[in-house]
Every structure is written in C-alpha cells, then in structure tokens.
Structure 1
C-alpha cells in the first residue's frame, strides 16, 4: 500500500541517501531525463520553426503560445488537480507530451506540417505541461517525510539545473548531426522515459477521487477556496506570495538582461554569452546540491537562509552594475554567485508551502503561486527591459539588485510573522 511506504525504514533517510530510495530516486531520475528533454525542446523547436519559416516574429510566437496557458488555465487546473491522483496525472501528462511532440517531426516527414498545425501542437503541449509542475509539487509531500521536504525540493531543482546545462548543448550538437526534426524524436522519447520512471513510485493519496462527479461541482467556488487560503486565511502563505512576486520581478529580469550585459557592458559575442549562461547554471546547481545536504532546520532557520542568500545576490547584482570596466572573469564569478544565491528561494518556499497547505488544497495553492510568479516575471522583464533601453543596462542591474535586497528584507518580516509553521491539515 502507498500509505504504508511512509513508515518504512527508507522514509527515515536524509540528504544524499534520499536519492537511493525507490520512490524519490525514480522521481528524481525521471525528472533529470524530462528536464534534459525540455532543454532539447527549447533549442530544437525554435530552430526548427525559424528554419521552416525564416521569420524571427513567427519564431517568437512559440514563446507566446507557451506562456498563455499557465496564466489563463492555471487556477482552473489547480481545482481539478486537487481531486485527482497526482501520480496518474503526471504519467498521463508525460504520455500526452510524448505523443504531441512526436507528431511534429512525423507531420514534417509526411509533408503534413503547416505553421498553423505546429502552433496548435505547441499550444496543446503547453496546456498539458502546465499541469505537470503543480502536480509534481503537490506529490512531493505525499512521497517524502516532512523533515525531508527542503532536501527533496532542492534535488528536484537540481534536475532543472542539469537540464539547463546539458539540454541546450545536446540539442545544438544534435541539430548539427541529425537535424532539428530528428532531435524532436529524442525529445519525445525523454517524456516517455519519464513516464516509465513514474510507474514504480508509491504516492500516498488520502483523497477520494471524485472522477466525473467533479465536473458537477461549482468550479468558481472551489477556486475561491484556494484564493482565500492564499490571500486571506494564512498569513505566512500570503507573505510568501508577496516575496515570490518580488523575487520573480527581479530574477526573471536579470536572466532576460544577460544578453544585454554581454553585449553592452562586456562587449563580447555569443560564445562568451554562453559562458555566462553556464556560470548561472553552475551557481544554481552547486547551491541546490548544498541545500540538499543541509538539515532542513526550523522555520526561522530556513527563512533566514533565503533572506541572507537573496541579500548576497542583490549585492552581487548591484556590484555587476557598478563595475566601471568589467572583466569577463570577474563577471563570470559574480554571475556564479548570483545563480547560487538566488536559486535557494524556491526549494525552501516550496517546502514551507507543502508543510502548511492541506493536502486537498495543494494543487490550487501551487497553481496560484505559478500564475502570480509568471505574471510578475512578465512585468519584471518588460519594466527592467524598458529601463535598460532608456537609462542603460547598468542602472537596470542596480534596480534589480535593490529589488532583491527588498525581497530579503520582506523575508525577515515573514520570519517574524511565522514563528512556527503549522502542519498541514487534510
């Protein structure tokens, strides 16, 4: 039984040994493969569309189609996700992604792929992918013990870092050797492998699945239950939401401005820009590994940890903007520090949300955070992008650094308001 797995000796492990357990080890391995697939997809799909159309505008439409579903459908997805078994949802999503990604090169091979069909497939892939993230975050507290949540989230974030480091490079090599359309076959296979890794996982689920009965429930009422929990009922969750919005405003803008930093401040080309991306990934991966090895600690310990790390990141971003004659090596080190210091945020925040959120609200809470994070990220990219064009990239970087420092200050207030994280009540 899935519920019995929570009391087995393997559930008492911590740190690196968590990867050796059957349930979390399979989940982590599947996510490594899936995240590498995401990295393959990002490069191969954009290159494929540009090669097919020769239009940068038509290529950037892919990004828009991938952004709309999380914003529009996120809250609705959260409602239904709370009534469904998380393991089944993740497997179905991976199988659907396998099929839909596979259709792109198949249609191309049989000369059936039009731009309109490609856009429809990308949009559908984005819709089902929107389900996976909240389902994964909701499943973690049903797989590992409460004391292992921060470690588990740090390990899962490391899969994203691995995907960022390996996926694009593998995709570029694959495009050069076998062509973009054939790389998409490999991408489809990674989602199938991820689904296979999910099969042996035991996920405790105390909810009774309502099946088709859920379609008769008042959806808006269910959505409002989630919103009330985030914004009105739980002060710590609302405070974490504020910090997440501020964090996304800043960090998304920084990532967006990396090409500007390379070209305008460092006056270097695309190869050096690749090094800067790698520096960011190295810092993020190192921080995730360090966090996974660190004891979870009390609420104050954890919130203090992200407060200090964000302060370090804010100072580093300000330093990057204040350097008068930047050197590539020193910039590389600063970006490693920025990547490492800012990547601690979500594993810690996700763990705290998983602790305080009742199981029947996990889907709604995580989709609410995802929608808020994506909306604030878009505002941050637009606002700081405008500032970089109007006032210069150095001023924009200083603004981002100050915003990270403000986020660090807000976390101090969160610590004072939430002396104890109450356990989730089902």
Structure 2
C-alpha cells in the first residue's frame, strides 16, 4: 500500500493534502462551538454545516471545467491560498453581530475545496499512473483520512478548551499554506487539455457521463448510498446519547468508525485489483448495510463499537473502490469534470440525508434505520447489475503522465 509514497510528486501531494485536512478537522468542533458561544443558538451553530454544502451544489460543474482546463497544480495552490484567507476571516468574528463572517468564511473556504478535491483526484493518476500504484495511492489517502478523522476533531476540542479559538484558526491557516508549498514543489505537468469554451466543456462532461456506463453507474450508486449514509450518520449521536448512555459512549462509537476506516484502507488495496468492481462495491455496500443494522440494534457499547468498526471498514472500501474505478474508467483530460459531478452528488445527498434522518426519526427509530439500510442494500444490487453489465475496467499501467518535454517510458503491466 505504501509503494505509491516512493513517487516524489505523490508524496508531496499526499503530505499537503494531509496537512490541510488536519487543519480543517481541528475546526470541526471549534467553529460550531464558537458560534454557539457567540449567539447561544443551536440553530445558528447548525447553519455552519449547511454553509459548507452551498458551494459544491452551486459551483461543482464550474469547478470541474476549471480543473480540466488549467494546470491542476496551479488550481490546487490557488485553492489553498483562497482557503487560508477565508479561514483567517474567522478571527474577526468576535461578537453576535459578526457571525455572518463565519458563514461567509465557510462558504468561501468550501469554494476552494470544491476546486481542490477534483483537482487532487484527477492529478493523482497523472502522477502514479492508473495501475496498481493508483489503488495503493487511494488506500494511503483513505488511511490518512481515517487517522485525521480519528484524531483531528477530539484534538481540536481539547485545544479549544486549552488555548481558545484563535490559535486553532491560525493552525488551519498555516496548514493550507503548508499544503500550497508542498504542491508548488511537485513537477509541472501542464494543463490536461482545452476545449472550445466553458459551456462546451460542460456539455462534453455530461455527454461523457451519459454515454459511458461505468462512470454513470458509479455516480448513481455513490450518490444514493451517501444519502442513506448521511441519514444514518445524523442519527448516531442521538442514538448514542439516548440508548447507549451519553456523549462519552457516543465518542467511543465514533472512534470505532474511525478505526474501521483505517482498517479498510489496506483491505481495499488488496481487493481492488483482485475483484471485479461490481463484486467489490456490491459486497462492500451489503456489509455496510448489515453493519448499520447491527449498530442501531446494539444495547451495549462493546457491541456498538464492533458494529461501527464493520461500518467504517466496509464504507471505506466502498468510497476508495469507487474512486479508483472512476479514475481508471475516465480519460484524465475529463476526470476533473467527472470528479466534480461526483462531489456535487455527494454534497446534495449528504445535505438531503442530514435532513431525512431527523424527519424519519419523527416516525420511529425503526423506520429511519431500516429505510436507510434498505436503500443501501438497493445500492448494492444496483452496483452488481450495472457494473457487471458495463464490464470490467482494466488498469493500463503504472506509468505516470510525462512532464513537459519528457517522453513517456513504458511501464509494467498491471494485473486486473
């Protein structure tokens, strides 16, 4: 799984991405807590999450065009600098009358993230190739994500209590500057390709999705699954408090999700190149549904933690497997637009799921849980049928995209 880190450009990209993610997760608890302290309003604190969904929903297609028309290194560096400036604005929100600055800063930060994420996803196969190293690179990123999720939010809460809000903001600003510096140090590879204009690029991206079975299937399955996942995720905290005993027990269960996410990284690396994508994703989705069913049936913390580990492991396999198959099935020149469409679907599904969970909970716990689990099983069936019909995606080689002026050397063939 660590072989991809031997590639210098990927190592720098990974380091920058990890630094910026850690800075972001340090503020996951701190920002809503700060807004709650300023306003005394739970609704105002909750709106901080809604602010982060706005940019992906509105700007996703535009970001994909930008990523496919410009040098992706430049896109990521500009996105990091924009995010650093946006987060620094949080320092000026020190009273109820300045809370609007918090929402504005989060919206602008998410604009940078909308550009950075598809650029990083599209740049990775250009750096490591689309063979076995790509699966390893995505697994390393998934392991890093799991570690950051496990450590970042609790560490941010502790630092908020010890040092206050402003030092955490500065740490996040510095993390984005470190990320920008790391990406600047990577090799230039030039723009992936240019079309006739922005609207033409958008039409080309949507036309590719309509006529290409694998990306179309992945977009549908991933969006529906993340909606169900968000529905259940929104219920974990109420379930932990009401059924398992309190916030401490809930924190332990959430840590189990993080552990499962970490375990899923090497598992995905082993399975991605050995299983047909239909079998990989259908199996992972089915196990995720079963894990959520077990989690919300738990009456004790150890049982719930074990189920949470299963959910994290299978969910990690689903997300990393989806990303790897998409990268292999999509030409690099159009991968930014396709990735942005996937992220836009993710934002819409997460927002809808976060609303659906509490709404279904108004009916009953069983209605909320089993509806979402049933939808996840439906996604497993869709993945099995649609991806088997679409055929298998064979990774070509581990040869990265050559830098300007450099000829591409033949790379080793990758087993499918």
Q: 1:43 to 1:320 in 2, by over 3 A?
A: closer
Contact 1:318/1:397, CA 8 A, preserved across alignment: yes
- 2:59 aligned partner: 73
Alpha-carbon distance, 1:171 to partner: 0.9
Q: TM-score, normalised by structure 1?
A: 0.86
Is the CA contact 1:252–1:377 (under 8 Å) kept in the aligned structure 2? yes
TM-score with structure 2 setting the length: 0.88
Q: Does 1:270 align with 2:270?
A: no
Mapped contact 1:303–1:412 kept (Cα < 8 A) = yes
Give the superposition deviation at 1:348: 1.3
* Rounded Cα–Cα distance in structure 2 between residues aligned with 1:51 and 1:347: 37
**CA 1:393–1:375 in structure 2 vs 1: closer, same or farther (change >3 Å)?**
same
- Checking the alignment, whether the CA contact within 8 Å between 1:74 and 1:371 is kept in structure 2 is yes
What is the alpha-carbon distance in structure 1 between the residues aligned to residue 213 and residue 365 of structure 2? 36
Cross-structure match for 2:145:
160
Aligned to 1:384: 357
Q: Secondary structure at the match of 2:119?
A: helix
CA contact (8 A) 1:104 1:113 kept: no
Report if the CA contact (8 A) 1:288-1:343 is conserved.
yes
Residues 381-418 of structure 1: per-residue CA shift (max 9 Å, x gap): 3233322221x223322222222222111121133212
1:281 and 2:246 equivalent?
Answer: no
Query: Mapping of 1:21-420 within 5 angstroms?
Result: 21-105=7-91, 107=92, 114-147=98-131, 148-202=133-187, 204-205=189-190, 207=192, 218-230=197-209, 232-266=210-244, 268-292=245-269, 294=270, 296-297=272-273, 300-322=275-297, 326-390=299-363, 392-420=364-392
| Deviates most, 412-421 or 197-206 | 197-206
Q: Return closer, same or farther for 1:46/1:419 CA change in 2, 3 Å cut-off.
A: same
How far did 1:112 drift?
12
8 A Cα contact 1:142 1:203, kept in partner: no
**Cα distance in structure 1, aligned partners of 2:35 and 2:291:** 37
Is the 8 Å Cα contact of residues 217 and 386 (structure 2) preserved in structure 1?
Answer: yes
- In the TM superposition, what is the alpha-carbon distance from 1:198 to its structure 2 partner? 1.5
* Greater displacement, 253-262 / 413-422: 413-422
Q: 1:70 to 1:108 in 2, by over 3 A?
A: closer
Counterpart secondary structure, 2:128: coil
Shift of 1:136: 0.8
- Note closer, same or farther for the CA distance 1:118–1:240 as it changes in structure 2 (3 Å cut): closer
When residues 402 and 387 of structure 1 are mapped into structure 2, their CA distance, relative to the original with a 3 A threshold, is: same
Indicate if the aligned counterparts of 1:32 and 1:162 stay in contact, CA closer than 8 A: no
> Measured at CA, do residues 169 and 227 of structure 1 come closer, stay the same or move farther in structure 2, by a change above 3 Å?
same
* RMSD of aligned alpha carbons: 2.3
1:253, 1:381 within 8 Å by CA — same for their partners in 2?
Answer: yes
Unaligned runs of at least 5 residues, structure 2: 402-416
Q: How far apart are residue 205 of structure 1 and its match?
A: 4.1
Q: Following the alignment from structure 2 to structure 1, what is the Cα–Cα distance between the partners of residues 24 and 384? A: 35
- 1:278 deviates by 0.7
1:355–1:422 CA contact under 8 A, matched in 2: yes
Q: Does the 8 Å CA contact 1:317/1:398 hold for their aligned counterparts?
A: no
Change (3 A) 1:240 1:169: same
Q: State the shift of 1:37 in Å.
A: 0.8
Q: Distance in 2 between matches of 1:137 and 1:203?
A: 16
SS of the residue aligned with 1:146? Answer: coil
1:200 to partner: Cα distance: 2.2
